[in-house]
């Protein structure tokens, strides 16, 4: 790392990265990556370095970081090693600063100039060939874990909303199918508000894009009339639309939506990424975020009301995240998972009652210690639906690493 580069990072600020623990023999490491996709790099660091990253908060100097290392491990951290860590993070665009700002602006310009939002995960998380993808999705419906072949008890009724996972399709496909079977059997509209989970975080709470979405099954068009209304009423919701480029939580829904709606008539979508904690509505320090969320939510409500057309609200959302990958000190046990499942199902009763405020209060009372990543999307869905009744159709979990870290998710329908 050059002297000028060192002086440019006296108080390094780590970006919002994701991490996963790794074990190699008796040694433990942590893998870091950028969920926004701005950087495609990955970095593996030992646990001692991972401990230090909590102090890369823009408030600690490198000297203070080194002092924290000495306090924790009882040994000096050679300055060259610390500078090399900072250099590695900077080279990979993992630190906030001018390089990241320039990369972000260039990526945003390229995204806005592109004709469509490309299918980022086709051929990775699901089949890229249209025929193979159709067979893959139909296989989830007919699998033993999938929905029953008999008609839904709500067949022919107007459907108001769905909650589906955004977990890897190859693993959670049957749970997606439980949700989209309800859409398939229902009286469905031609307008869908797609609420995704913004994993990279959002300063404004919501990120809307007007891009049409490509999938292997064809183009899914955005609803221009509603997009225009949102731009006029809450233009800030478009400031972070780059977040859509590499976010999977809406993309994973679209092939299911295309097949469940039959592709016999045109449909339009309103793509909205959501990211804000339950504390947004209770913590005075989050007042500015709360105001942005409330403004964005009202703009959505008003735009839908002004159009006067029925809409189905779909949330791509997961529930709890427990285990070492998500910050717990130890792996989940059978007991802790079953306790988590009971808490999830109790929490979802508030969603079934379409009580967004009680849903938020339940998670806030837990201090969100199970990390309900889909909170913002589900909360927004409940506020947009307004009335009716929901039903949990299926509940399941996925294991995400060798330490048994666990993600839970559910399929729900609202009528």
In this structure, the number of other CB atoms found within 10 A of the CB of residue 187 comes to: 13
Quote the CA–CA distance of 337 and 345 in Å, as a whole number. 12
| pLDDT tens-digit readout, 142-184 | 999 999 888 999 999 999 999 999 999 999 999 999 999 999 9
Residue 2: the pLDDT is 45
Does this chain's domain 3-104 share its CATH topology with 117-414? no
Q: DSSP states of 224-262 as a string?
A: HHHHHHHHHH-GGGGTTGGGGTT-HHHHTTHHHHHHHTT
Q: Which SS3 state, helix, strand or coil, does residue 223 take?
A: coil
| pLDDT tens-digit readout, 226-251 | 999 999 999 999 999 999 999 999 99
Name the residue ranges covered by the structural domains of the chain.
3-104, 117-414
pTM for this model (two decimals) = 0.91
Q: Mean pLDDT throughout 362-383?
A: 98
Partners of 391 in beta bridges: 413
- How many percent of the chain have pLDDT more than 90? 92
Nearest to 222 by CA among 152, 290, 272: 272
Quote the CA–CA distance of 213 and 222 in Å, as a whole number. 8
Nearest to 122 by CA among 213, 243, 222: 213
Q: DSSP states of 47-69 as a string?
A: HHHHHHHTT-BSSS-HHHHHHHH
Quote the CA–CA distance of 95 and 93 in Å, as a whole number. 6
| pLDDT tens-digit readout, 178-193 | 999 999 999 999 999 9
Class of domain 117-414: alpha beta
Residue 263: the pLDDT is 63
CB 146 within 8 A of CB 177: yes
Q: Which CATH number fits domain 3-104: 3.30.310, 3.10.110, 3.40.50, 3.90.930?
A: 3.90.930
């Amino acid at each position: 790392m050059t002297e000028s580069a060192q002086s440019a990072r006296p108080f390094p600020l780590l970006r919002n990265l994701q991490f996963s623990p790794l074990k190699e023999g008796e040694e433990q490491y942590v893998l870091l990556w950028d969920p926004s996709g701005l950087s495609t790099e990955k970095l593996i660091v030992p646990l001692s370095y991972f401990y230090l990253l909590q102090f890369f908060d823009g408030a600690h100097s490198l000297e203070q970081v080194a002092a924290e290392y000495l306090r924790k491990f009882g040994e000096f951290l050679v300055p060259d090693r610390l500078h090399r860590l900072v250099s590695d993070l900077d080279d990979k665009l993992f630190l906030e600063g001018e390089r990241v700002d320039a990369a972000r602006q260039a990526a945003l310009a390229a995204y806005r100039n592109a004709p469509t939002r490309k299918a980022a995960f086709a051929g990775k998380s699901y089949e890229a060939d249209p025929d193979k993808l159709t067979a893959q999705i139909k296989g989830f419906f007919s699998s033993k874990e999938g929905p029953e072949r008999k008609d839904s008890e709500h067949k022919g009724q107007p459907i108001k909303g769905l909650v589906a996972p955004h977990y890897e399709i190859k693993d959670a496909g049957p749970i997606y199918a439980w949700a989209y079977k309800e859409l398939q059997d229902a009286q469905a509209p031609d307008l869908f508000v797609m609420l995704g989970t913004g994993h990279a975080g959002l300063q404004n709470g919501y990120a809307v894009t007007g891009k049409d979405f490509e999938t292997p099954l064809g183009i899914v068009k955005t609803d221009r009339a509603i997009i225009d209304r949102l731009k006029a009423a809450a233009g800030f919701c478009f400031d972070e639309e780059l977040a859509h480029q590499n976010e999977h939580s809406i993309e994973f829904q679209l092939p299911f939506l295309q097949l469940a709606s039959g592709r016999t008539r045109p449909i339009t979508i309103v793509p909205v990424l959501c990211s804000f904690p339950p504390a947004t509505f209770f913590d005075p320090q989050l007042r500015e975020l709360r105001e942005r969320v409330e403004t964005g939510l009202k703009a959505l409500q008003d735009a839908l009301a002004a159009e006067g057309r029925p809409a189905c609200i779909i949330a791509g959302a997961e529930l709890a995240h427990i285990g070492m990958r998500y910050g717990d000190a130890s792996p989940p046990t059978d007991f802790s998972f079953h306790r988590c499942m009971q808490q999830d199902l109790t929490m979802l009763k508030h969603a079934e009652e379409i009580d967004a405020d009680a849903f938020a209060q339940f998670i806030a009372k837990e201090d969100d210690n199970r990390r309900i990543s889909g909170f913002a999307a589900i909360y927004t869905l409940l506020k947009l639906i307004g009335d009716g009744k929901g039903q949990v159709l299926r509940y399941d979990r996925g294991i995400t690493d060798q330490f048994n870290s666990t993600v839970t998710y559910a399929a729900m329908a609202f009528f």
